Structure 1
């Protein structure tokens, strides 16, 4: 089941990346910012970030502009992915579980499963934000990383019908 779901997410990821490559030139003179702008610098204190008008997404572990993050569509997507519960820790043995992600350092330990789900979430988030007229919440490099992560997973664990017509 995970392989099938991963295959579906990967195909969506490839389609999203393909659309991005096709349509990116159209956005060249447009208002979209593809620089990977972050609402608040990494490891900023929560009070500093909120003073800048940012809210923390505890699935991507990024600070986003409040007006984008608090949209119903964004929150529904976030809640679907967070509902699984994800253990985050300061050490690989997961002896030091992180309770307050907003104050956590950038280098933390997550499961490989969460990494893959993070990629699916990020790709959906990019597409969702485009449909709402917002800048993408991440860089093209991150999208490329996520697509490659999912494609690699499919290659390592191909579904039985992968090469069927």
Structure 2
């Protein structure tokens, strides 16, 4: 009896076949062969069991070692946790969450606020008041001068000889409407003051003059104030705001007036006086 050719499950070609199976002529050899195959299979199973047992032993050893290492690591972490807690507690709230490892650099200490600078305002320069006494005699003795422009005795430091000379030239001009030196003891202009020296001795007296001289007084005093602003003189006496307003009103009134003889009238008065002034200390 012939058996067909057998092929493997890999679909080999017809040349890669198993040798033909020849049946035994009687039953005894067939039983012997089956017994042999059974023993071979049993040996193979035993070998597989041994290999499996060895594999399990190796796997168990590896797992056990890993467990030992893991427990050791956990114990080490638990031992270090109190220190970590203290460090975390002492760290500032804004510390970065990531770890720098060995390259950790301590955060700089917060900068202290700058010391407050006291608001010290510079003190105004101290000033001294210069006086000329209470009479023309005392004023002369104290080195003061008579200023015709303001009709006052004053310290020489506060006087301005330039504008004083300009006003003097004005009032002594014979072309003035009532003539030169129009200063009077009375309102009617009947009794004229003799001279500037006499006028300077009339401290506290009431003197009359023309509106023309009064307006000139305001104009030349404005020149003096300009010299003060530009630094040509150091100080000015008789420089109150009230007097400035008085002068500007008088000028505006004269400009608006339609009376041609207004400036020729005796329409202004003044008192001869003594004034002081302030000087900055060096």
Matches within 5 A, 1:73-84: 74-84=160-170
State the number of aligned residues. 120
Per-residue CA shift, 1:60-93, capped at 9, x if unaligned?
Answer: 2011211343xxxx32322222113222111022
Mapped partners of 1:62, 1:56: distance in 2: 6
Which of 236, 239, 244 is equivalent to 1:143? 244
Are the equivalent residues in 1 in contact too, given 2:185–2:192 (CA < 8 A)?
Answer: yes
Superposed CA RMSD in Å reads 2.7
Per-residue CA shift, 1:36-77, capped at 9, x if unaligned?
Answer: x88436xx42221123331101232011211343xxxx3232
Distance 1:133 1:57, change over 3 A: closer
* Greater strand fraction, Structure 1 or Structure 2: 2
Per-residue CA shift, 1:11-33, capped at 9, x if unaligned?
Answer: xxxxxxxxxxxxxxxxxx86698
Are the equivalent residues in 2 in contact too, given 1:40–1:64 (CA < 8 A)?
Answer: yes
Q: Determine the structure 1 residue equivalent to 2:132.
A: 40
Which of 98, 102, 109 is equivalent to 2:200? 102
Are the equivalent residues in 2 in contact too, given 1:45–1:102 (CA < 8 A)?
Answer: no
Secondary structure of the structure 1 residue equivalent to 2:217: helix
Secondary structure of the structure 1 residue equivalent to 2:208: coil
Which of 224, 242, 245 is equivalent to 1:125? 224
Mapped partners of 1:82, 1:133: distance in 2: 19
Deviation at 1:144, TM superposition (A): 1.3
Distance 1:80 1:133, change over 3 A: closer
Secondary structure of the structure 1 residue equivalent to 2:206: coil
* Greater helix fraction, Structure 1 or Structure 2: 1
Which of 153, 156, 160 is equivalent to 2:257? 156
Are the equivalent residues in 2 in contact too, given 1:90–1:96 (CA < 8 A)?
Answer: yes
Worse-matched range after superposition: 84-93 or 108-117: 84-93
Instruction: Please list every run of at least 4 consecutive aligned residues from structure 1 whose deviation after the TM superposition is greater than 6 angstroms.
Output: none
| Bigger relative CO (Cα 8 Å, ≥ 6 apart) | 1
Mapped partners of 1:118, 1:56: distance in 2: 15
Unaligned runs of 5+ in 1: 1-28, 158-165
Distance 1:32 1:80, change over 3 A: farther
TM-score with structure 2 setting the length: 0.37
Q: Determine the structure 2 residue equivalent to 1:134.
A: 234
Deviation at 1:133, TM superposition (A): 5.3
